[in-house]
Amino acid sequence: MQFTSADLERVESTWQQFVPSSSLQKADPRRFRFDWRSEELETTSLIDYRLAAQVHSRAEPLEQLLVCRVEAPDARVWSGRDSLDAQSVWMSDGTEVEARWDRSARVRAVVFDHQAAENRARLITGDDRRELRATGLVPHSAADAQRWERMFAYLDQSLAAGDTEPLLIAELERHALTVTLSAFPTTFTDSLQRPAQRAGAPASVRRALAYIDANAHLAITIDDVAAASYISTRGLQYAFRRALDITPADALRRARLDGAHRDLRDGDGRSVGEIARRWGFSNSSRFTAAYRETYGAAPSLPSA
């Protein structure tokens, strides 16, 4: 969704579609201008808007994880009596956060469905009882804040380029969540600090490889592979390293590269780029390099 508006009510109602608790407490309608862009994945939304006005806004996300950055020279961001760094990103899963600026601002946000995020966190950690909660509003460090910014830019660029193949969407959504949960203090971080599950490695690896072979053409992620193998994502990673000296992601990537190779060989596509995206490769140069390394030649379709 993308539009420009000077209608204050439309702006507020649009923002509330993504974060129902959000509101514009104060906005000067005389110099109000709003440029909105949003992208929706399966259980995640990316939001990027510019708002020119004197604004006081608030958000208290319910059943969501809201990660947000307000960029404005005069921005102030706070929660209760605590001031937050207006030059950095923050996250809330229920804590009220307010912001204000006097001229104009760019607001970037990623909104995760809380239940879906919790389910994925449980798959990754193997802790089926772990409740996902934020234990702080700001990233662990400046480096983590920058890492989240790079993730947002990558997600934004991929979606703006029209990469809507189901395999890519699933990987983008997983990437966005794992970067977010590792960048901010959450109960997810606590689970990652415990030893990985290591039991049943050989059988788990065999089940994982069979599942990958049968489903590589679908929008599966490493978490899905682990669930089908009856082991946590971390446990499966350990098992693969011990048994095969590769990661589950390596195995899935190889299976998808094989699928792209078959489609190219059979001429099943209009272009190399189309086939690459179909099999989850959004970066054409990386796909070409991986293909050449594996098959000894650049990817190409059969001559007519």
Residue 282 maps to which CATH number? 1.10.10.60
Task: Say if residues 180 and 67 touch (Cβ distance below 8 Å).
Answer: yes
Enclosing domain of residue 35: 2-113
| Of the residues 113, 147, 171, the one at which a domain ends | 113
Using CA atoms, how far apart are residues 120 and 125, in angstroms rounded to an integer? 9
Residue 145 domain-assigned (yes or no)? no
CATH number at residue 107: 2.60.120.10
Burial grade of 56 (CB within 10 A; 0-12, 13-18, 19 or more) = middle
| Of the residues 97, 113, 129, the one at which a domain ends | 113
Sign of CA dihedral 166, 222, 217, 115: negative
Residue 11 domain-assigned (yes or no)? yes
**Residues 102, 12 share a domain:** yes
Residue 150 domain-assigned (yes or no)? no
Work out how many domains the chain is built from and give that number. Answer: 2
| Of the residues 92, 113, 134, the one at which a domain ends | 113
Q: Provide the residue-wise pLDDT of the chain in tens; the chain has 304 residues.
A: 888 887 777 877 887 888 787 777 666 666 677 888 999 898 999 999 888 878 888 888 989 999 999 999 999 999 998 899 988 999 999 999 999 888 888 999 999 999 999 998 888 777 777 789 898 899 988 999 999 999 999 999 888 877 678 888 888 999 999 999 989 988 887 666 555 555 555 788 988 999 998 999 898 999 999 999 888 888 898 889 888 888 999 999 999 998 999 899 888 888 998 999 889 888 888 899 988 888 888 899 887 5
Please provide residue 226's backbone torsions phi and psi, each rounded to the nearest 5 degrees. -65, -45
**Residues 109, 11 share a domain:** yes
Please state, as a whole number, how many other Cβ atoms lie within 10 Å of the Cβ of residue 279: 24
Q: What is the pLDDT of residue 107?
A: 92
Q: What is the pLDDT of residue 18?
A: 82
Residue 143 domain-assigned (yes or no)? no
**Residues 201, 108 share a domain:** no
Distance of alpha carbon 169 from its chain centroid, rounded? 9
